[in-house]
Amino acid sequence: MAEPLPPTRRRSLPPTRPRIPGSGLAKGLAVTLRTMTKKSVTEQYPDAQPALPPRTRGVIGLFEENCTVCMLCARECPDWCIYIDSHKETVPAATPGGRERSRNVLDRFAIDFSLCMYCGICIEVCPFDALFWSPEFEYAETDIRELTHERDKLREWMWTVPAPPALDPGAEEPKEIAAARKTAEKLAAAQAAEAEPTEPADPQGGAS
């Protein structure tokens, strides 16, 4: 049999108040009435689509053109759920006498979303901006193997990636946009120079 607690360790219970009959029912009804007058926050999904914030981590999109097959994302993924295959291709020299170059060509890029924990490390470490978050989340499958999305599927997700937010006023122009603008300006200047009519040659030889 358990020994009684010493007087210093006994918990003193609050004094009990006499209960009014029906007070519990009245409290319950009061809660019901309060809740009935509040606006409901329940989302009627799937009849109504939820309004998700733009940075929602739904699925990962691949912008294949930017991928250099550096393998950083696959190496850093804590779940090892990115599968990349590639081969090397020799690019002929751009100028006569120049050196041939070799480049990696992507054969397979897949992400297994049944293993992915949506940490975003692959997107953070990609040095070439080839991976992006899309807020799309409706890709549940009945077969777990279907959750491995191959490069075509990952490319499709890319078109659901929201546009980045506008820059702050006075912010520095992004390097890519500055480079593209300079190239476009050079091209326009070269085209304008080509389109300028050339002056006819002076029949007198031009000497005065």
Stretch that binds ligand SF4, among 110-118, 143-151, 159-167, 197-205 (CB under 6 A): 110-118
CB of 50 to ligand SF4, least distance (A): 21
Please indicate if the annotation marks 81 as binding a ligand: no
Residues of this chain, 54-73, that bind ligand SF4 according to CB under 6 A: 67-73
Look at the alpha carbons of 146, 111, 63, 67 in this order and tell me if their dihedral is positive or negative: negative
Could you give the string, one character per residue 73-92, with x where binding to ligand SF4 holds by CB under 6 A and - elsewhere? x---xxx-xx-x--------
Question: Given the DSSP bridges, would you call strands 82-91 and 101-112 parallel, antiparallel or unpaired?
Answer: antiparallel
| Residue 164 burial class via C-beta count within 10 angstroms: exposed 0-12, middle 13-18, buried 19 and up | exposed
Classify strands 148-149 and 82-91 as parallel, antiparallel or unpaired. unpaired
Applying CB under 6 A, among 110, 116, 154, 161 the residue interacting with ligand SF4 is 116
Instruction: Closer to ligand SF4 by CB, 71 or 179: give it.
Output: 71
- Does the footprint of ligand SF4 cover residue 161 (CB under 6 A)? no
Binding part of the chain for ligand SF4, among 11-19, 117-125, 176-184, 189-197 by CB under 6 A, reads 117-125
For residue 72, give every residue at least 6 positions away whose Cβ sits within 8 Å of its Cβ, in sequence order, or none. 125, 126, 127
Q: What is the DSSP letter of 99?
A: -
77 marked among binding-site residues: yes
Closest to 132 measured CA to CA, from 53, 49, 66, 51:
66
Residue 154 sits in the site that holds ligand SF4 (CB under 6 A):
no
- Told to check if 126 binds ligand SF4 by CB under 6 A, we report yes
- β-strand partners of 89: 103
- Positions touching ligand SF4 (CB under 6 A) are 67-73, 77-79, 81-82, 84, 111, 116-122, 126, 128, 130-131
